[in-house]
Chains A and B, each alone.
Chain A
Amino acid sequence: MLASKLTMTHLLRRSLIHRRARSLSALVALTVSAGVATALLTLYAGLDAKLHHEFRSFGANIVITAPTTSALPANALAQVKTAAGDDALAAAFGYAVATTDRGTPVVVSGTDFAAVKKLDAWWSVDAWPSELDTNAALLGQRAANFVANEHEVKLTFAGKPLVLHGVGRLKTGGDEDSRIYMPMAAFTSWTGTGTSVIEVQVPGGAAKVEAAISRLQHALPGMTVQPVRQLVEGESRIVDRTHTLMYAAVMLIALTVGVSVLATLSASVLERRRDFALMKALGGSQAQLIALFLLEALLLALAGVVAGYIVGSALAWAISEGNFGTATLPRLGVLPLVLLLNLAIAVMAALFPARVLRGLQPAALLKGE
């Protein structure tokens, strides 16, 4: 089709279509950069929440204990919940050493099964006791071997016998496997002791945990409030490293794509040196020719952003679904960053070819030298 007017848009379109293999190669590179940047930035935006959600399943990150000479106050759990915040999880534990019907000493712990089920979601339990069952017991894997009958758990504490019925078994690979858990109310009435430890799970990174510890220390003076260091520091370290890794990946990909686009655009200028030389001979100014070339690069970068945003958002959704079990919706907020990145790549990659363009000698080129 003929153009009634020859415009820069027309020249650009025809040039891009005519060199479709080169244009496509640059477009693919720029789509990859925009796609990966979109995916990583979309994931990055929801990463903290997702990682904190993952870490939450690892259990408590703060432990509150009473000094050896005293017990935690009766209202300690309520105070912890107030100080730690609505989104924190907490469970109280009381401990006593009883004797089984086989004469084996065993640690018996009184607790609230519903709270523990939420707090220690990582525990492997075949059947959790019901909250209504006041005489139920949860037996640790090893502790189950200390009793004669798992369904009729006979225990003695300070000469006071107690019969519980085992509901399920617990397996953690830790100390919990050697304990027998029972409801707190029955434990208190049997042993005469109350809460000695409260485990708390505060969502968020190290800073949030430190802030919660400070509030808890203020609310429970004289009690020992300690973070589960390995977990808190581990979480913080993993979050930081993941952020660094994502930034590094975006930069690395940007660099790789930049080199690829540079090669494509350089080749594009070199193979069209005579066309540009002709345009110069026909009166085309330096600015007109560089504008024509830069616009071509920017047009490809913009098309790459559109395609890359769609591909990247889909990629982020798939990665999130596969790794965290939740879908990550496209975020319009990442679009300006992706656009900036791709335009920067295109402009940087176009600088060298633009230099070549500036140094073109139409006389020599048009003579075929």
Chain B
Amino acid sequence: MIELNGVTREYAGHGSTVRALDHATFDIHTGEWVAITGPSGSGKSTLVNLLGCLDRPTSGELKIDGVDVSTMSSGDLNRFRSDKIGFIFQQFHLIPYLSAVENVMLAQYFHSMTDENEAKMALEKVGLGSRISHLPSELSGGEQQRVCIARALINNPPILLADEPTGNLDATNQKIVANLLGELHRYGHTIVMVTHDPEMAALAQRKIALSHGKVFCHPTSAARMVRLQR
């Protein structure tokens, strides 16, 4: 369960203060798939950074699984992040000199202990069992995103934060990734996905729209959920 209560994030710069997120108050339930939408500069990235424990609110309370992360030390926040959250990035962010399996193992390295077999299994799960020793430069965009998903899953985090996961992919790969996310949701992962794409947003149970840092929540679309689960 993710709870936001009056969360505000302000940035200071050039003699003025910019309020990127303004008193956001909402919950995301365990196992829910939420899409965060909104135009550029609406505060989507700020929200994802806060939910991903990469940033702290200026004011307000942000609780994940009952723990207030806004008051945690950097070290504790690192630990908490690697335990609870898996990241899927629009630009994949794979280490260029590590193979696919080593990129997955990197998340294990910073979490606990590396296990090659587990990393291979994660890659098999995303359909890349035959590409484990390939470098990112030898993989297509879709394959790189799947490595990124395998890396996000390897420590079995309950929450997956996906920031424009299909933003750099063609239609075929977009479908593959969308199906993978659907599958992960069925396995019980909470998915928070930032997207500009209405089709991707439609796959989520609920939309959270942002405009000028303010949050507008929408109810779940039951019809779309049924379609997704098929």
Contact = CB atoms under 8 A, between A and B. Distances in A.
Interface of A: 2-7, 11, 14-15, 17-19, 274-275, 278-286, 288, 361-363, 366-368
Contacts, number: 82
B143 interface: no
Contacts of A362: 54
Contacts of B101: 2
B116 A279 contact: no
A363 B54 contact: yes
Contacts of A275: 95-96
Contact of A363 (B49, B98, B114): B49
A281 B97 contact: no
Contacts of B89: 366
Contacts of A280: 78
A7 B109 CA distance: 8
A14 to B, nearest CB: 5
Interface stretch (B63-71, B79-87, B173-181): B79-87
14 contacts: A2-B102, A4-B116, A5-B114, A6-B106, A18-B96, A18-B97, A274-B93, A279-B106, A281-B52, A282-B151, A283-B110, A361-B55, A366-B89, A366-B93
A362 B77 CA distance: 13
Nearest to A275: B95
B99 interface: yes
Among A6, A280, A288, the most chain B Cβ lie within 10 Å of the Cβ of A6
B74 A14 contact: no
Nearest to B116: A4
A2 B116 contact: yes
**Which 3 pairs show the lowest CB-CB distances between chains A and B?**
A283-B82, A18-B97, A363-B49
Contacts of B106: 6, 279, 282
A19 B133 CA distance: 19
A282 B111 contact: yes
B97 A17 contact: yes
B114 A285 contact: no
B96 A288 contact: no
A257 B106 CA distance: 34
A5 B109 CA distance: 9
Contact of B54 (A4, A11, A281, A285): A281
Nearest to A4: B116
Nearest to A289: B110
A277 to B, nearest CB: 8
B74 A6 contact: no
B15 interface: no
Nearest to B55: A363
B107 interface: yes
Contacts of B105: 3, 6
